A and B are shown apart, each in its own frame.
Chain A
Amino acid sequence: MNRTHRRRLLGIALITGGLGIAALLSGLAFRKNLLFFFTPSQVAAGMAPPHSVFRMGGFVVPGTLRRQGLEATFNVAEGGHALPVSYHGLLPDLFKEGQGVVVKGRLDGSGGFTAEEVLAKHDENYQPPEVRHLRPDAGPVVSASKP
């Protein structure tokens, strides 16, 4: 094995080593940070993880929104099941009763859901992607999203 071969091997080793480490990192980070999405009826069926963070989507049940300062509670329903959600903070601009919402958080162990993030529609015509298909009569998709 001469000098040229050694150098070439070194280059190959650098590339494969680098890519290997990168793949390992991505794989680990990917598995650790995957967020699954469930609907209230799937949660009721026990499909959601009991202790870890996930996303849940449905519709805000009219008449259930209560606000006490920055504390907000509301029920999210879909497929005949509803789940009480509690949240501390500012609700998004287009958060409304009767409309689609996606909440990120975890189950509180007593039948409720504690949200750390609430996502609502971006505008009148846009529904969070996960909620859109739940109700086929939702409005037309706005064709001008942020390019």
Chain B
Amino acid sequence: MIPEAGLAALCLALALTLLQGTAGLLGAARHSAAWFAVAQRSAWLQTGLAMAAMAALALSFAQQDYSVRYVAAHASSALPLLYRLGAVWGGHEGSMLLWLTLLGCWSSVFALTMPRGPLSSAALGVLAVLSLGFLSYIIGVSNPFARLFPAPPDGSDLNPLLQDPGLIFHPPVLYMGYVGLAVPFALALAALLTSSRHGQPDISWAHLARPWNLMAWLWLGAGIAAGSYWAYYELGWGGWWFWDPVENASLMPWLIATALLHSLAVTQQRHMFGDWSVLLAIAGLALSLLGTFLVRSGVLTSVHAFAADPSRGIFILGLIAVMVGGALTIYAWRAHTLPRGRPLELLSRETLLLVNNVLLLAACAAVFLGTLYPLLMDVLHWGKISVGRPYFNAVFVPLLLPALILSGMASWTPWRGIPVRTWLRRARLPAAAALATGALVMLCGMPAVPFAAGLAAAIFTLILSGWSLLRHARQRLRPGLSYYGMQFAHMGLACFALGASVSGSFEVSEDVMLRPGGTMTLAGYTVRLQQVSQHTEKNHQALRAQVVFERHGHDVILVTEKRRYASGMVTTEAAIGWGLFRDLFVALGDDLGENGYSLHVAYKPLIRFIWGGAGLMIAGGALGFLGQRRARVRLAHEAPAKVAA
């Protein structure tokens, strides 16, 4: 009965979503607080019902109810409870339910914290339309509670690659980011719907949307960084980004959210880029829906299998078309009510942010092309192609290096502009230091130009940001948390660039065959295969190799495994000896006979800076979020005083 209760909860949620949408839009049209309250409460109830449905699914997994098709397909009696619960979102139907529940959570917090008024009311209406789309999708074509007759005695287990603690928490984090972009989207549309043609152009939506977008950006970034780390330690061969369509699907909304983060700052501070921010908010949600479509419709696994049974994919595509088409129509109809642009000063923070937006958008377009063009070719039977790392690197590096340099310049460039000469005087030393480093690297005969450029840009930004922080500390300025957040995030980007360019250029890796006791040298280390042994574990056979990296009398002992599961699945457990400045990496290949084993060994300098930089960016974003909240609270306190005066 539990699965049926779950489905009933979803049907009830559908009715409440309709109520939330109607009440929200009515509340906005009539400036009615009563309707707003109705929308607010139905959002809370609807979220509670979605959570109840999640709980029903989790309970079905916990009780191993294999008469539920979804449970039978994603669990087995041998699967530990933790992974059985993780399997709730391990497959298609469950992950869509997770989407819906998280959307409900965002809507509920939104309903709880936003000041009541037409803008919030309309935004709740827009969020309800989104929920409605996902609910009808789940109930219509992707029901996780569908029964299976006759019920199989046991399930067919969760994909072993997904049986990893990191992977249980990865999808919810990433989805929080995807779904969070719905809030700026809803606010942008609400601003279009409620702004009056004759009244004063209103930018309060930008005030409200900033912290929401920042929060979504944080989750999305954390999800991407965690996914990349998972690929690094779990997938085996030590890469950290594969330009895989699944990865690109999460990178595109992140790039747009980053652009929106910066353009909203301009909209809020200078009442400019209003149209632009609205369009970015629409694009952000469009790309996160597109990402869901790419990952969840099966179109990536096989275009043709997808074409044979496209009902789900068509539904998501239809949802994208309705949401984005509708949003753009509203934009075309109402855009003239938005604040108009003002002239830009040549060298001002506004201009830098404009260029930053152009670069991010171009980068996103390049990823879009590289991800979707091969699919399109395949669908139209024009041939099968793929674009790999070389394409993305060739496009991405020249677009993002200028963005990195700009991020360093931004902290020295005030709003409204600054004379070019003054600016040059300030940037003289860091620029010289950066150029000198770049030139030195080139002179030392180090490899590629992109590497030298990346290093120089990273140093330029680190110096400028660090210097700016120091100056503020020395002059006892109290710039607020948002300022520190910005500097940390920019320094994080620089650290990331440093890690990516150094590890990309100086990584040494080799495939070798060694016998136990045999040695090789790699990047100054003596690598010795100490011993190889066979082990029998509960559900797999393991071939275990002990490898010693030795340099200057220091030993690093790593143990790598090749596992053969009862199901026939084979996985490699790579071993990583990690350090702040370098990682040592070894993965066991095969038994090649005659007591020889193949090994993949690698030395990866500064690779930790990649995730360290990502962590710094996330910390910076969190500081910025706190700063924005504090500013809003202060604003709320000051507002009544102003009225009194």
Contacts and interface: CB of A to CB of B under 8 A. Distances in A.
A123 B160 contact: yes
Given A144-B159, A145-B301, A11 B390 contact: no
Contacts of A88: 511
A19 interface: yes
A50 B394 CA distance: 25
Given A14-B354, A37-B383, A147 B399 contact: no
Nearest to B399: A22
Contact of A22 (B161, B362, B568): B362
A124 interface: yes
Interface residues of B, number: 79
Nearest to A17: B358
Interface string B117-160: 00000000000000000000000000000000000000000111
B302 interface: yes
A4 B343 contact: yes
Interface stretch (B88-96, B324-332, B448-456): B88-96
Given A29-B394, A130-B384, A141 B301 contact: yes
A26 B366 contact: yes
B161 A122 contact: yes
Interface in A34-76: 34-38, 55, 67, 69-70
Given A30-B369, A124-B568, A90 B391 contact: no
B310 to A, nearest CB: 14
Interface in B499-523: 511-513
A144 B90 contact: yes
Contacts of A141: 298, 301-302, 305
A1 interface: no
B513 A143 contact: no
Nearest to B363: A22
B354 A11 contact: yes
Nearest to A126: B301
Contacts, number: 167
Contacts of A14: 351, 354-355, 358
A55 B373 CA distance: 17
B386 interface: yes
Interface residues of A, number: 50
Interface in B537-595: 562, 567-572, 587, 589-590, 592-593
A143 B387 contact: no
A33 B383 contact: no
A130 to B, nearest CB: 6
- For A29, A69, A124, A142, which residue has the most chain B Cβ atoms within 10 angstroms? A29
Contacts of B598: 70, 90
A8 B513 CA distance: 64
B5 interface: no
A104 to B, nearest CB: 8
B362 A19 contact: yes
A43 B162 CA distance: 37
Contact of A18 (B89, B230, B344, B358): B358
Contact of B511 (A4, A10, A19, A89): A89
A129 interface: yes
Interface string A132-147: 1100000001111111
Nearest to B398: A25
B362 A144 contact: no
B246 interface: yes
Nearest to A5: B343
B388 A35 contact: yes
A90 B589 contact: yes
A119 B277 CA distance: 42
A69 B595 CA distance: 11
A55 B159 contact: no
B427 interface: no
B391 A29 contact: yes
- For A129, A142, A147, which residue has the most chain B Cβ atoms within 10 angstroms? A147
Contacts of A69: 513, 592, 596
Contacts of A90: 511, 587, 589-590, 598-600
Given A18-B359, A124-B569, A132-B301, A36 B383 contact: yes
Given A90-B598, A124-B569, A33 B158 contact: no
A55 B295 contact: no
Interface string B289-310: 0000001001011111100000
B368 to A, nearest CB: 10
B346 interface: yes
A7 B301 CA distance: 49
A18 B513 contact: no
Contacts of B231: 146
B385 interface: yes
Contact of A29 (B89, B295, B355, B390): B390
A7 B300 contact: no
A29 B395 contact: yes
Nearest to B231: A146
A70 B373 CA distance: 36
Contact of A144 (B74, B300, B363, B512): B74
B362 A18 contact: yes
Contacts of B366: 22, 25-26
Given A36-B385, A133-B305, A143 B174 contact: no
- For B246, B298, B301, B571, which residue has the most chain A Cβ atoms within 10 angstroms? B301
B466 interface: no
B270 interface: no
B236 interface: yes
Contact of A70 (B369, B512, B593): B512
Contacts of B160: 123
A111 B124 CA distance: 65
A18 B39 CA distance: 44
A145 B303 CA distance: 15
Interface string B236-266: 1000000000100000000000000000000
A93 B385 contact: no
B435 interface: no
Given A25-B398, A70-B513, A88-B511, A143 B73 contact: yes
Contacts of A144: 74, 90-92, 158-159, 162
A38 to B, nearest CB: 8
Nearest to A2: B343
A19 B395 CA distance: 12
Interface of A: 3-4, 7-8, 10-11, 14-15, 18-19, 22-23, 25-26, 28-30, 32-38, 55, 67, 69-70, 88-91, 93-94, 122-126, 129-130, 132-133, 141-147
27 contacts: A8-B341, A8-B344, A18-B359, A19-B358, A19-B362, A22-B358, A22-B399, A26-B365, A26-B366, A29-B394, A29-B395, A32-B394, A35-B387, A36-B383, A67-B592, A90-B589, A123-B569, A129-B301, A129-B303, A132-B302, A132-B305, A141-B298, A143-B74, A146-B230, A147-B170, A147-B171, A147-B246
User: Across chains A and B, which 7 residue pairs bring their CB atoms closest together, nearest first?
Assistant: A22-B362, A37-B384, A29-B394, A7-B343, A33-B391, A90-B589, A89-B511
Given A10-B346, A11-B351, A93-B572, 11 more contacts: A11-B344, A25-B394, A29-B394, A32-B390, A34-B386, A69-B592, A90-B590, A129-B301, A143-B92, A144-B92, A147-B95
